[in-house]
Amino acid sequence: MNDLTDVDPALAAAVLEIEGHVADSGWDQPARLYALVDTTRLLDREPTLAASTGLGDQPVAGSLTPVEQDQLPPDRPLESVLEQISWPDGVSGCAAVVERLVLPPDVDDIPADRAEAEQFAREHPDRQEVRIIAGATRAGATYCALRLRAHDDAQSVVTGTDLVPGLLELLTTTLENDDVQMEDER
Over residues 124-156, the pLDDT tens digits come to 988 899 999 999 999 999 999 999 999 999 999
pLDDT of residue 185: 35
φ, ψ of residue 160 in degrees (nearest 5): 175, 170
**What is the helix (H) or strand (E) element at residue 149, kind and residue range?**
none
pLDDT of residue 4: 55
| CA atoms of 43 and 92, how far apart (whole Å) | 14
pLDDT, tens only, 8-18:
999 999 999 99
pLDDT of residue 74: 85
User: What Cα–Cα distance (Å) separates residue 175 from each residue in 64, 74, 183?
Assistant: 15, 23, 13
| CA atoms of 147 and 75, how far apart (whole Å) | 24
Cβ neighbourhood burial of 137 (10 Å; 0-12, 13-18, 19+): buried
Amino acid sitting at position 160: G
